[in-house]
Homo-oligomer: A and B are copies of this chain.
């Protein structure tokens, strides 16, 4: 209701910075990208960068969150329940997202990326759980969301490490019933 419109310059500038960063990260590794590189390419002042982001890690964080959010199409899932189908879709989205990242050579930032993924997952799963149980907030559901997010993320790691001969769906299928029993 009381949402104050954000200044269009802010939207435009953030988009410029983020797009430029994504663009650059396709050309060189994250560790070789400087703030100056980004601002020069994006045609904005360096001071303006710091007006929007704490530092380059903050930018990485926000860019990845946004990309992941698109992958998760969360506006769709938020309205759904947690069941075999939605869980499988989410798992697919996560593995998909990680595969797209591994092409971009963000070596040394696996921890950061992992945290971002789990954070986003957790928020999404918590919303779905709340909806499913018809409550406004609930601490135990929050913890459940934490555990589910770690579980899904961990499964995606293990899948990448061991089982890429199976599809993500196949890999996770047999485990899902046990998970679902816990939260129903």
Contacts and interface: CB of A to CB of B under 8 A. Distances in A.
A43 interface: yes
Nearest to A12: B43
A93 to B, nearest CB: 29
Nearest to A43: B12
Which 7 residue pairs are nearest across A and B when measured between Cβ atoms?
Answer: A12-B43, A8-B43, A8-B45, A11-B43, A12-B44, A8-B44, A15-B43
Interface in A1-47: 8, 11-12, 15, 43-45
Contacts of A45: 8
Interface of A: 8, 11-12, 15, 43-45
Main secondary structure of the interface of A (DSSP, over half): helix
7 contacts: A8-B43, A8-B44, A8-B45, A11-B43, A12-B43, A12-B44, A15-B43
A79 to B, nearest CB: 29
A43 B8 CA distance: 7
Nearest to A8: B43
Contacts of A15: 43
A169 to B, nearest CB: 40
Contacts of A43: 8, 11-12, 15
Contacts of A44: 8, 12
Contacts of A8: 43-45
A131 B126 CA distance: 74
